[in-house]
């Protein structure tokens, strides 16, 4: 028996369990967390070698990565590992931060110029590329541990309740960062718009937030809504998109209650447009559209042809406005695609239409590297949705200029052929021979070609793939969403 | 270099990090999780000695605890530890489950008849009582680890996305169970209303859910909305409530932007009613009402006298309907009160009005036991809000019948005097002498008495506390929300 701070006599050992005596109570209160970005990083104890994570929902309009790295440089801190969910051409200044060793490692998706740079100038550790779901799982399991999560918000209150739904730079719900908020050692919200407490939306709540960094601008609203939401006008691509919908239809997937994935990118958008029309023609109501929200999907929803939009990111200003009026059913990336969870939005997908930079005769798909070996794109949701969909469709031309797109071996495996069901090209449709059920279903309705025929045609037109000589140096790697290594991105020999 | 399942040659050791080769990909799909409650428990591997958690949001209408324990008994499983967030008179059948050793321990709040029973018939381990926030933290830290979380939902889809917002037995957002869903070994959603996928609300998402148990009725809708939401009509209690608002006013807290806690219980509700009127009179707009939602608060909100209702549970049918139309700003219990978080809803509370079964001259408050030693109530948010509020007000009569309520020592310390600021009684107001600032502020405006004077008055009227003889046997304990032991509830000697 001991006397505790409430002057009560208590037992501290009861049947094998040990208890700690009450030591006193005090009032709990709060203080504003708002400060500058530089102070925020200092308060979070930023030091050499730390890992800083970011989300990419400001896309080509993002100022937060560059502004943060400038603050890191001003603080004299070096050898940062970046753990962004994706990076775009606007992040070209990252090259300078690599050159002066502010940044020495990148463990996250890279699009564009930084990718081209690190393909030639190796970082201290290879770039690790993961899918949306794979990254979520890696942070959750501690395989990728952010020291500091820097989370861009288009509005936040002084206590750190933060959102991407309202404000000048609204980009839709903050979908990628909850896992970082929960697992990082420290969490900084970066916003240009402080709202009165409590913030009316709170994808990230104050319980996870150490500091709120108030900056002038988190991004350029015009560029946040990227150009990938335009439906293609190219007749050849439109035909590919139309063929995708014919294929879906022939396999019997276009039926009441269907669940489909929508996204950005010219052909995929065109396919969604044709799918909307097909739903009208057949007087069918889909259950759910998952993935990225665009005006096209909002319009299909408004027309009553899909009951639920279950979105994980938002691609255009129209859609942001749409959800400001009715939030509908947002699904953050963990809900959408975490492979370690007990159930995900994409597990019930009937179909998805995805792109490719290359496809091979094993149906492996590459979206990360170009045929010259340069790392220029992230994985995004490619793996996740391909594995989640009953019918995953890859669209591509058979060749581009002098480069065969359908080929014997892809330069890099992004998504393994095991989960790729059909390749729809400008020269016909090939179905993965593993999917005998699909081949049987479309017999007579859809003319098929073999993947080898498509490859032969590509090789005849182009003379085959150009020889690229690789070194033994590792630029990066692609991981399957379970954390295993799918492929290595090798450095090309300097010429 | 090894060849992986995608037939790519990869490095598995790079600069000290080891990587696992890709071993193959497969399609991910889903199956309906719906089954019976008994099957659900079997599928979750229920065994002797397991801990089963429940939330209490169905209150006096709850069928889920009893139905679950019946299934446990049918499965022949014994020695279950119950980890409910609270228990009511409707749970009297639990006594039978204790008698036949289906249940042998309870680690959660107990109200009413089960409490009376275990006060006389000790369980195999003392009852551990925690506040809302304290329980959340205990589950999060693993101090209280549910083997199986049984989560009542008024609607759910077949994949386990679950809500309390819609359905026949709607009770408001499932606020208590997210932490159980995240940390339990297995999670069962129990619902009587299966809705089409995807559920339109999803406080608990499929990612955490193993099984959906479909039952006939999760509860009695009429009793789910308990009787504690009636404003008192007792003139003495009304005067106490009115004095609370005068006290708030005198301390300068009734100002534009104020944040107040609302709850159930006659005097607290009356105080909220008077506070609403005071806001009108002074033409003041409060910022935020936290805590439990009642029609009273909805009406203050509709009158434009509080900008935000930031609710953690819902007490009446009117409020459920209200939030079905506009969800507003729900705050789950972790957001509301988790003491291990970086920021909570209640940290900015200006004031709260709370009840007491006893108060002592150190300003310690008891809400758990009656003066005869019987454990009859849980802690609820008492500790959390007292510590969060700048002005925590306790209301009680000086004595009840022959029992002095204000006394030298409370039977059990629920909330330590360190965080109790004022006692408002039918015989005057006592302010904690530690709060010199408050005493200074109200000087001249509010007549004060000392807590000793109140005690003396109680003792004169009643002849002082009846002598209760305690044994050395431990019925249970109260914990402070940081996990330390505040007090032991001793067994009373049999007479």
Taking only the tens place, the pLDDT of each residue in B67-83 is: 999 999 999 999 999 99
Cα separation of B81 and B211, whole Å? 21
For B343, name the nearest residue in chain A, comparing CA atoms only.
A207
- The reply to whether residue A488 touches residue B28, judged by beta carbons under 8 angstroms, is no
* B210 & B267 share domain: no
Q: List the Cα angle B411/B415/B419 in 5-degree steps.
A: 135
Host domain of residue B71:
34-107+144-224
The answer as to whether A86 is a domain residue is yes
Looking up residue A242, the CATH number of its domain turns out to be 3.40.1080.10
Q: What is the mean pLDDT of chain A?
A: 96
pLDDT at B495: 66
- Please check whether residues B169 and B238 belong to one and the same domain: no
Chosen domain end from B224, B250, B279: B224
**Is the pLDDT at A265 greater than 90, yes or no?**
no
Asked if A96 and A239 sit in the same domain, the reply is: no
Test mutation, A81, A343, A364, A381, chain B, max B CBs within 10 A: A343
In chain B, which residues have their Cβ closer than 8 Å to the Cβ of A187?
342
pLDDT in tens, B409-460: 999 999 999 999 999 999 999 999 999 999 999 999 999 999 999 999 999 9
Same domain for B170 and B76: yes
Mean pLDDT along residues A62-68: 98
Looking at the DSSP assignment, which residues form a beta bridge with residue A52?
A82, A148
Complex ipTM over 0.90: yes
| CB proximity list for B31: less than 8 A, separation 6 or greater | none
Which of B11, B17, B187 is closest, CB to CB, to A488? B11
The answer to whether B15 contacts A125, with C-beta atoms less than 8 Å apart, is yes
Q: Verify whether the Cβ–Cβ distance B200 to A329 is below 8 Å.
A: yes
The helix (run of H) or strand (run of E) holding residue B488 is: strand B485-492
Quote the CA–CA distance of B143 and B483 in Å, as a whole number. Answer: 9
Same domain, A401 and A468: yes
Contacts of B490 in chain A (CB under 8 A): none
User: Rounded mean pLDDT of chain B?
Assistant: 96
Could A28 and B308 be called an inter-chain contact, meaning their C-beta atoms sit closer than 8 Å? no
Burial class of A340 by CB neighbour count within 10 A (0 to 12, 13 to 18, 19+): middle
Residues B147-176, mean pLDDT to the nearest whole number? 97
pLDDT over threshold 80, residue A227? no
Q: Give the per-residue pLDDT at A266.
A: 80
The dihedral over CA atoms of B366, B371, B373, B376, expressed in degrees to the nearest 10, equals: -60
Inside any domain, residue A485: no
A58 and A173 housed in the same domain:
yes
- Specify whether the CB–CB gap between B470 and B455 falls below 8 A: no
Q: How confident is the model at residue A229 (pLDDT cuts 50, 70, 90)?
A: low
Residue in A closest to B333 by C-alpha: A207
For residues A64 and A350, what is the distance between their CA atoms, to the nearest angstrom?
A: 36
List the single residue in B14, B413, B416 with the smallest CB-CB distance to A126.
B14
Nearest to B485 among A7, A21, A338 (CB): A21
> Å from A9 to nearest chain B CA?
7
The verdict on residue A76 lying in a domain is yes
Choose among A335, A474, A484: nearest Cβ to B22.
Answer: A484
Structure confidence at residue B342 as a pLDDT band (50, 70, 90): very high
Q: Check: CB of residue A194 under 8 Å from CB of residue A171.
A: no
Alpha carbons A463 and A481: distance in angstroms, whole number? 35
Q: Is A449 exposed, middle or buried (0-12, 13-18, 19+ CB in 10 A)?
A: middle
Contacts of B191 (CB under 8 A, 6+ apart): B152, B153, B154, B155, B156, B162, B167, B212, B213, B214, B215, B218
Cα separation values, B181 from A141, A239, A332, Å? 17, 47, 17
* pLDDT tens per residue across span A332-379: 999 999 999 999 999 989 999 999 999 999 999 999 999 999 999 999
Q: Is residue B342 situated within a structural domain? A: yes
- The answer to whether residue A489 sits within a structural domain is no
Nearest to B416 among A25, A125, A415 (CB): A25
Contact B207 A17 (CB under 8 A): no
Q: How confident is the model at residue B111 (pLDDT cuts 50, 70, 90)?
A: confident
Q: How confident is the model at residue A228 (pLDDT cuts 50, 70, 90)?
A: low
B344/A206 touch (CB, cutoff 8 Å), yes or no: yes
pLDDT class of A327 with cuts at 50, 70, 90: confident
Same domain, yes or no, for A45 and A179? yes
Chain A residues closer than 8 Å to B11 by CB = 474, 488
The reply to whether A218 and A240 lie within a common domain is: no
Contacts of B416 in chain A (CB under 8 A): 5-6, 22, 24-25
- pLDDT at A230 (0 to 100): 77
A6-10, B228-232, B414-418, B486-490: the lowest-pLDDT one: B228-232
Q: Which of A8, A30, A200 comes nearest B347 by C-beta?
A: A30
Nearest-by-Cβ selection for A334 from B4, B207, B415: B207
Across the interface, which of B8, B415, B477 has its CB nearest the CB of A487?
B8
Q: How far is A300 from chain B (nearest CA, A)?
A: 18
Partner-chain contact B28 A347, CB within 8 Å: yes
CA distance A112 to chain B (A): 24
Q: What pLDDT shows up at residue A479? A: 98
Inspect the interface and report whether the beta carbons of B159 and A364 lie closer than 8 Å: no
Best mutation target, A6, A126, A334, A348, to test chain B (most B CBs within 10 A): A6
| Per-residue model confidence as pLDDT tens digits over B254-285 | 999 999 998 777 899 999 999 999 999 999 99
Which of B196, B344, B413 has its CB closest to that of A207? B344
Residue B118: what pLDDT? 97
**Residue A39, CA atoms < 13 Å, CB-side half-sphere:** 9
pLDDT of amino acid A263: 73
Burial (Cβ within 10 Å: 0-12, 13-18, ≥19) of residue B414: buried
Q: Which of B207, B418, B486 sits opposite A343 (nearest CB)?
A: B207
> In this complex, do A364 and B29 lie within 8 Å of one another by their Cβ atoms?
no
Cβ–Cβ below 8 Å for A484 and B30: no
Mean pLDDT for A88-115 is 96
Tally of domains in chain A: 2
| Predicted confidence (pLDDT) at residue B227 exceeds the cutoff of 70 | no
Chain A interface, best mutation among B17, B27, B163, by max A CB count within 10 A: B27
List the single residue in A with minimal CA-CA distance to B128.
A19
The whole-number average pLDDT for the span A477-487 is 98
Question: What is the structure's pLDDT at A225?
Answer: 77
pLDDT confidence band for B286 (50 / 70 / 90): very high
Which chain A residues have a beta carbon less than 8 Å from that of B160?
Answer: 342-343
Clarify whether residues B282 and B331 are in a common domain.
Answer: yes
CB contact under 8 A, A25 and B484: no
CB contact under 8 A, A22 and B348: no
- Spatial separation of the C-alpha atoms in residues A365 and B240, rounded to whole Å: 73
Count CB atoms within 10 A of the CB of residue B95: 15
What is the spatial distance between Cα A374 and Cα A418, in angstroms, rounded to a whole number?
Answer: 25
- Same domain, residue pair B259 and B358: yes
Are residue A264 and residue A350 in the same domain, yes or no?
yes
Q: How many CA atoms lie within 13 A of A393 on its CB side?
A: 30
Cβ–Cβ gap A419/B27 under 8 Å: yes
In a domain, B93, yes or no: yes
Residue A262 has φ and ψ, to the nearest 5°, of: -115, 155
- B4 in a structural domain: no
Q: Do A159 and B27 touch (CB under 8 A)?
A: no
Q: What is the pLDDT of residue B225?
A: 77
Residues A9, B209: C-beta atoms closer than 8 Å: no
Q: Test A387 with B26 for CB contact under 8 angstroms.
A: yes
> Does the beta-carbon distance from B346 to A28 stay under 8 Å?
yes
- What percentage of chain B carries pLDDT values higher than 90? 93
The SS3 call for residue A179 is helix
What mean pLDDT comes out for the span A65-81? Answer: 98
Q: Which residues of A touch B204 (CB under 8 A)?
A: none
Cross-chain residue pair A207–B338, CB shorter than 8 Å: yes
Is A299 contained in some domain?
yes
Interchain proximity B6–A413, CB inside 8 Å: yes
pLDDT digits (tens, 9 = 90+) for A455-466: 999 999 999 999
Contact predicate B238/B232, CB 8 Å: yes
Closest chain B residue by Cα to residue A420: B27
Q: Chain A closest CA to B338's CA: distance in Å? A: 8
Q: Do A27 and B416 touch (CB under 8 A)?
A: no
Instruction: Quick: pLDDT tens for B301-331.
Output: 999 999 999 999 999 999 999 999 988 899 9
The predicted pLDDT at position B494 comes to 83
**Residues B236 and B212 occupy one common structural domain:** no
Q: Do B14 and A343 touch (CB under 8 A)?
A: no
What is the structure's pLDDT at B27?
A: 95
**Which DSSP helix (H) or strand (E) runs through B56?**
none
């Amino acid at each position: 028996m001991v006397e505790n701070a409430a002057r009560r006599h208590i037992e501290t050992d009861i049947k094998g369990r040990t208890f700690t005596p009450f030591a006193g109570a005090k009032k709990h209160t709060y203080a504003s967390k708002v400060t500058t970005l530089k102070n925020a990083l200092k308060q979070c104890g930023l030091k050499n070698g730390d890992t800083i994570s970011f989300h990419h929902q400001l896309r080509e309009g993002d100022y937060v990565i560059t502004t943060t790295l400038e603050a890191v440089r001003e603080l004299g801190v070096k050898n940062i590992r970046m753990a962004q969910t994706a990076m775009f051409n606007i992040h070209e200044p990252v090259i300078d931060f690599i050159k002066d060793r502010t940044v020495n490692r990148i463990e996250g998706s890279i699009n564009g110029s930084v990718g081209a740079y690190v393909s030639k100038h190796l970082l201290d550790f290879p770039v690790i590329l993961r899918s949306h779901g794979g990254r979520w799982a890696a942070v959750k399991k501690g395989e990728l541990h952010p020291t500091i999560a820097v989370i861009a918000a288009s509005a936040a209150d002084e206590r750190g309740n933060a959102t991407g739904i309202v404000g000048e730079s609204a980009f839709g719900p903050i979908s990628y960062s909850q896992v970082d908020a929960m697992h990082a050692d420290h969490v900084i919200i970066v916003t240009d718009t402080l709202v009165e407490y409590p913030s009316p939306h709170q994808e990230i709540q104050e319980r996870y937030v150490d500091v709120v960094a108030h900056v002038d601008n988190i991004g350029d609203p015009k560029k946040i809504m990227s150009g990938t939401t335009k439906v293609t006008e190219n007749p050849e691509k439109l035909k590919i998109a139309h063929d995708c919908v014919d294929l879906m239809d022939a396999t019997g997937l276009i039926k009441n209650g269907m669940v489909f994935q929508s996204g950005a990118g010219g052909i995929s958008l065109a396919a969604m447009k044709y799918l909307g029309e097909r739903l009208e023609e057949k007087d069918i109501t889909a259950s759910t559209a998952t993935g990225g929200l665009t005006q096209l999907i909002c319009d299909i929803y408004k027309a009553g042809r899909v009951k639920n939009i279950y979105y994980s990111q938002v691609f255009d200003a129209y859609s942001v406005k749409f959800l400001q009026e009715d939030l509908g059913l947002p699904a953050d990336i963990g809900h959408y695609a975490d492979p370690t969870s007990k159930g995900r939005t994409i597990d019930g997908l009937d179909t998805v239409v995805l792109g490719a930079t290359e496809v091979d005769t094993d149906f492996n798909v590459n979206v990360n590297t170009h045929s010259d070996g340069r790392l220029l794109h992230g994985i995004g949701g490619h793996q996740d949705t391909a594995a989640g969909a009953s019918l995953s469709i890859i669209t591509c031309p058979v060749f581009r200029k002098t480069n065969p797109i359908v080929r014997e071996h892809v330069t890099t495996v992004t998504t393994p052929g095991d989960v790729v069901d059909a390749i729809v090209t400008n020269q016909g449709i090939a179905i993965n021979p593993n999917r005998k059920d699909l081949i049987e279903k479309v017999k007579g309705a859809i003319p098929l070609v073999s993947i080898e025929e498509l490859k032969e045609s590509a090789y005849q037109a182009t003379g085959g793939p150009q020889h690229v000589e690789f070194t033994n140096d590792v630029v990066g790697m692609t991981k399957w969403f379970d954390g295993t290594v799918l492929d290595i991105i090798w450095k090309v020999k300097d010429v």
